[in-house]
């Protein structure tokens, strides 16, 4: 059963190919989704804090966060999100290519809600994105937006 309201997702991803795959996966789930995309960690934090040029940004229902990005990496972004009382309740799904056990452990230590390694194939990637959406918006009970 689809969520009755629009779902706002912030995708923090610097790879244009992965952005397109994520869009395809979200379309496959057939939910009412608005996908906001920023390509680095600094822009992600500005978006979340509604700083210029994102003054009108809507707080997302969930964040899909890559680890390997320019300027500020995903772990730094995750650390800042979970340290900020205004942002810490937003679920963060780490969606990255890293399978390193140290990265996985560190992300959970920093407060990630889950850690998913990106699959290689188009079909597998879009399926994973659709499953993330299905899980977080039809099964999990989310806190109301602030």
What are the pLDDT digits (tens) for 16-42? 988 988 888 777 766 788 899 999 999
The CATH homologous superfamily to which domain 7-136 belongs is Response regulator (3.40.50.2300)
Could you list the beta-strand ranges (E) of the chain.
7-12, 33-38, 62-65, 92-96, 114-117
| Beta-carbon contacts of residue 28 (< 8 Å; ≥ 6 apart) | 126, 127, 129, 130
Span 50-62, pLDDT tens digits = 999 999 999 999 9
pLDDT band, very low/low/confident/very high, at 5 (cuts 50, 70, 90): low
pLDDT (0 to 100) of residue 127: 76
CA distance 37 to 44: 9
pLDDT at 2 over 80: no
Check the CA dihedral 87-25-4-135 and report its sign: negative
Decide if pLDDT at 135 tops 80: no
Q: Residue 26: what pLDDT?
A: 78
Domain range summary for the chain, segments of one domain joined by +: 7-136
Residue-wise pLDDT tens digits, 75-100: 999 999 999 999 999 999 998 888 99
């Amino acid at each position: 059963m689809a969520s009755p309201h629009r779902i706002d997702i912030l995708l923090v991803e610097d790879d244009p190919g992965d952005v397109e795959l994520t869009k395809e996966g979200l379309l496959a789930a057939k939910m009412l989704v608005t996908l906001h995309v920023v390509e680095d960690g600094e822009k992600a934090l500005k978006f979340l804090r509604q700083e210029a040029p994102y003054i009108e940004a809507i707080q997302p229902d969930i964040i899909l966060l890559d680890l390997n990005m320019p300027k500020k990496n995903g772990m730094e972004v995750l650390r800042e999100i979970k340290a900020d009382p205004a942002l810490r309740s937003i679920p963060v799904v780490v969606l990255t290519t890293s399978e390193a056990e140290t990265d996985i452990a560190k992300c959970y230590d920093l407060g990630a809600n889950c850690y998913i390694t990106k699959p290689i194939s188009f079909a597998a990637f879009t399926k994973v994105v659709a499953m993330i959406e299905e899980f977080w918006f039809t099964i999990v009970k989310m806190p109301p937006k602030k």
